[in-house]
A = this chain, B = another copy of it.
């Protein structure tokens, strides 16, 4: 428990938390990583608190490493959620359970928190989901979310909206895909982000003439017209 909840009222910066919207791509869908919350019935974003001697970005990286094992992750601040009522939205949670589990000191967690929202883009196969006593992680399609704790559904929606607004100018497909991928997978991500169908041929030509991807082989194990595999070109300047 301690390892996964090293926080107390004294060692954290007060009234401030961090929540991470960890997104990935798998089987033609965008997924978000959720944890079963320590109070039954609701799922929550992987999150945590910032220690008194830590900055927010470091805290976010630490939290992500703890949850995913990864340290080289694309992670960005996207919005501060500060509605004074956001932590009152708790859907009739039974905090006595929490107190029983964690001791009465934990009640500092009932106070008002503002939370810094971060989004992270990861490669699906890089993540190994590991359950712990009080945690049970799982991938959910972003538009088929389970019942969410507090305002976490809103945080996810805002992360997606922010990414969508930026995608046209700052696309990040590389962060979501494995080393080798088909053009169809890449286009699929663009179509999700831009919320429109893209012409196959024009999309492919643009990616190739932009020089961001290169052909690296053909998919094996398919017994018909095997698709070409591409990988992103590492621009080492």
A interface residues (Cβ-Cβ under 8 A, vs B): 13-16, 50, 52-57, 77, 79-80, 82-84, 112, 114, 116, 168-169
Contacts and interface: CB of A to CB of B under 8 A. Distances in A.
B114 A56 contact: yes
Copies in the complex: 2
Contacts of A56: 80, 82, 114
A114 B16 contact: yes
B80 A112 contact: no
A51 to B, nearest CB: 9
Contact of A80 (B14, B80, B169): B80
Can you list the 5 inter-chain pairs with the closest CB atoms, starting with the nearest? Answer: A56-B82, A169-B169, A14-B14, A55-B82, A14-B15
A80 to B, nearest CB: 6
B84 A55 contact: yes
A57 B77 contact: no
A154 to B, nearest CB: 13
A1 to B, nearest CB: 26
Given A77-B79, A169-B169, A54 B14 contact: no
Contacts of A13: 15, 112, 114
A52 B84 contact: yes
Given A13-B114, A55-B84, A77-B79, 16 more contacts: A13-B112, A14-B15, A15-B15, A16-B16, A50-B82, A50-B114, A52-B84, A53-B84, A55-B82, A55-B83, A56-B80, A56-B82, A56-B114, A57-B82, A77-B80, A80-B80
Contacts of A83: 55
A135 to B, nearest CB: 26
A128 to B, nearest CB: 30
Contact of A15 (B16, B53, B55, B84): B16
A189 B16 CA distance: 37
